[in-house]
Amino acid sequence: MTARTFGAIAQGMVERKNSAVHRNSYDVDDERAQVFRKIGDGSKQQGFAHIGAMRETLKALIKQQRAERYKAPDRLQRTDYYVYDAILSLLDFKTGALFPAYNEIAKQAAVCRQVAIDSVNRLKAHGFINWVRRSIRNDDDEGPARKQTSNAYFFDFRRRMAKRVWQTFIKALTRNLKRLGASRPASAPSTPKAMAPALQAALDRLDRAVDQVPRPSLENGLYPQVGD
């Protein structure tokens, strides 16, 4: 066999492996794969306010872990910021739709596919992103009836982030939304319930989006765990 033949075989093996249907995968039209929710009120202004807060929170946590000499396997890397930035750049604010393939994430972040996968897993471990695996019908005559397609990504900050990380995000989001015209009385306590109506409404929409997504658990098997 020629080197080109070996290369074609290897490429075919990789493609079949990547398209194999994982457990806990749902058809793209299954209601359990409908995890997308609009960001804020769906406008570009509030969308950028939210992703700005996400970026700021991630940068702060990376810096904090470095300062505390955090050494756990899920320690965030500098690369994770670029991968997260690449993911957020593909987010549709109006619908919350976000389903890039790993190859697309890797290309946007200028990293290899495996680095993108490892990075997304670390981001998930710290609550910055979550996903549902999806599959589609295989219309080819060869192979299985179904094949894997890109994940449906969504955000579940309040439930999955550590408390102080969540608080950092809320502070950043509050500041960003205030710049859009939402005001907050100087004497108001630092709780969303005491915020000005416009700001409260924006945060309530964020909370409702979180509440509408079933809580991931081993019992209901809705979402894959890290490392699946």
Q: Does residue 148 belong to any structural domain of this protein?
A: yes
> What confidence score (pLDDT) does residue 158 get?
87
> What confidence score (pLDDT) does residue 201 get?
57
Q: Does residue 59 belong to any structural domain of this protein?
A: yes
> What confidence score (pLDDT) does residue 195 get?
42
> What confidence score (pLDDT) does residue 113 get?
96
Q: Does residue 124 belong to any structural domain of this protein?
A: yes
Tell me the pTM: 0.70
78 vs 111: CA distance, rounded Å: 12
Residue 70 tokens, joined: 């955090």
User: Mean pLDDT, to the nearest integer, of 91-120?
Assistant: 96
166 vs 11: CA distance, rounded Å: 42
Question: For residues 162 and 110, is the Cβ–Cβ distance under 8 A?
Answer: no
In terms of residues, how long is the chain? 228
Count of domains observed in the chain: 1
pLDDT digits (tens, 9 = 90+) for 144-184: 678 888 899 999 898 889 999 999 999 999 999 999 875 44
Q: Does residue 158 belong to any structural domain of this protein?
A: yes
**Residue with token string 């509440």:** 211
pLDDT digits (tens, 9 = 90+) for 41-87: 999 999 999 999 999 999 999 999 999 999 999 999 999 999 999 99
* 3-class secondary-structure state, position 180: coil
Q: Does residue 17 belong to any structural domain of this protein?
A: no
Backbone angles phi, psi at 40, to 5 degrees: 60, -130
Tell me: pLDDT of 191 over 80: no
Question: For residues 24 and 228, is the Cβ–Cβ distance under 8 A?
Answer: yes
Structural domain boundaries enclosing 125: 22-211
Q: Does residue 10 belong to any structural domain of this protein?
A: no
